[in-house]
A and B are shown apart, each in its own frame.
Chain A
Amino acid sequence: MKVSVVGGSGYVGGELLRLLARHPAAELSQVTSDSMAGRPLSRAHPTLRKVSSLTFVPHAALGPADVTFVATPHGEAMARMPELLASGGTVIDLSADHRLRDPAQYPRYYHADHPHPELLSRAVPGIPEFYRDALRGASLIAVPGCIATAAILALKPLAAQGWIGPSPIVVDAKSGSSASGRDAGPAGLHAERSGVMRAYAPTGHRHTAEIEQEVGSPVALSCHGVEAVRGVLATAHVFLRQPVTEKDLWRTYRAAFGSEPFVRIVHESDGLYREPEPKILAGTNFCDIGFAVDASRGRVVTLSALDNLMKGAAGAAVQCFNLKAGVPETTGLDFLGLHPI
Chain B
Amino acid sequence: MTQCPECDAAVANSAMVTGEIFPCPDCGTELEVTGKEPFTVEPAPKEAEDWGE
Contacts and interface: CB of A to CB of B under 8 A. Distances in A.
Interface in B1-53: 6-9, 23, 26-30, 46
Contacts of A83: none
Prevailing SS type, chain B contact patch:
loop
Contacts of A271: 28
Interface stretch (A65-73, A91-99, A172-180, A247-255): A247-255
Contacts, number: 31
Interface residues of A, number: 12
B48 to A, nearest CB: 13
With most chain A CB atoms within 10 A of its CB, the pick from B6, B7, B46 is B7
B27 A269 contact: yes
A267 interface: yes
A251 B8 contact: yes
Contacts of B6: 246-247, 269
A338 to B, nearest CB: 21
A276 to B, nearest CB: 14
Contacts of B8: 247, 250-251
B29 A250 contact: no
Contacts of B30: 269-270
A250 B23 CA distance: 16
Interface string A121-158: 00000000000000000000000000000000000000
A265 B26 contact: yes
A91 to B, nearest CB: 38
Interface of B: 6-9, 23, 26-30, 46
What 9 A-B pairs have minimum CB-CB distances, sorted nearest first?
A: A268-B28, A250-B7, A269-B29, A247-B8, A269-B28, A270-B28, A250-B8, A268-B27, A269-B27
